[in-house]
Structure 1
């Protein structure tokens, strides 16, 4: 978890930033031990050593705390994916790297901490703003790769670019969305690569 990403939203100055970050770190540890659903703000406050009212100064609900944690995790996934595609220049290889890196990092994070997976389930089912923003970033990243491929003469240009980006995202979504990921484990080792190849064949001139 990075300090910069954790401090997003509701800025009230350096001291308040530090407290907000401390609450997030402590909440993540508490959720990891006891689970998101079973934890109340009162229990969280006692575990941190703050009053419930003081926590509400920084977060207006338990969901707001969960969303801040979720946003931080999603930013980590996106950053690793961007780093993976930055190492190659070919649009086709960038698309392959994106299809491989996003599911891999997603599974690793949620496998390392199953309680975080619980928060992700709530976020996805409730369509929390952090998840919508993340999905839009992935779609935009796909669109950028598609535009590069068209400019290089590697991909077909007849289909509207937004339609192609959305279709590619829908192909990838079962390995990103935690509600769907739990049903996609059996083929996880080969599916992202095979799906990337399928999308690339559909983009061929």
Structure 2
């Protein structure tokens, strides 16, 4: 008889999150019960509750995973060698692309986003701070090389992110897509318009 392989708690948590995400996308958040997630994993609902106190807590974990993926991409862009203006434009377009591909493919997924935003405000605030730090880093690089004027990088980073929120907020992106807008073209034009304000006249 082969010895039973023990699963690490972090691995079990990850499996629960992955399975729940799949079921939420297939059935919708409201129609998916913890019992469904447990059955898909071949475990009892009580075992799922050992790792997550509620279905909403699982959604929060899904949200946190998504935010972490966005932040990893953002920092990679910030630390690349491209000109600062190109990095900021690429950053906004990559965030837009991520949300389109991963969170807004259908209404069932959009429901998950709404639940996550409603119950996950601390993580979302931390995510906003992380993105501001990313933009601030890029701005500092641009100021140092003379690509941008000597503006206050922190304040300017906040202003830029507020101005492009329609291209970085999942719910607002969804509304744009429903209206049939070409969001990539508009995002690119908006970023270039904003950066003109801090680009020295040549």
TM-score normalized with structure 2 length: 0.83
Larger Cα-atom Rg: 2
2:174 is aligned to 182
**Which of 145, 160, 178 is 1:168 aligned to?**
160
1:79 and 2:43 matched: no
Q: How many Å apart are 1:114 and its aligned residue?
A: 5.0
How many pairs does the alignment contain?
A: 192
Alignment of 1:1-205 (within 5 A): 15-84=8-77, 86-112=79-105, 114-158=107-151, 160-185=152-177, 186-205=181-200
Structure-1 separation of matches of 2:59 and 2:120 = 13
Structure-1 separation of matches of 2:168 and 2:109 = 14
TM-score normalized with structure 1 length: 0.82
Change in Cα spacing, 1:177 to 1:125, as seen in structure 2 (3 Å) is farther
Over aligned residues, Cα RMSD in angstroms? Answer: 2.3
Ranges in structure 2 where 5+ consecutive residues have no aligned partner: 1-5
Q: How many Å apart are 1:82 and its aligned residue?
A: 3.9
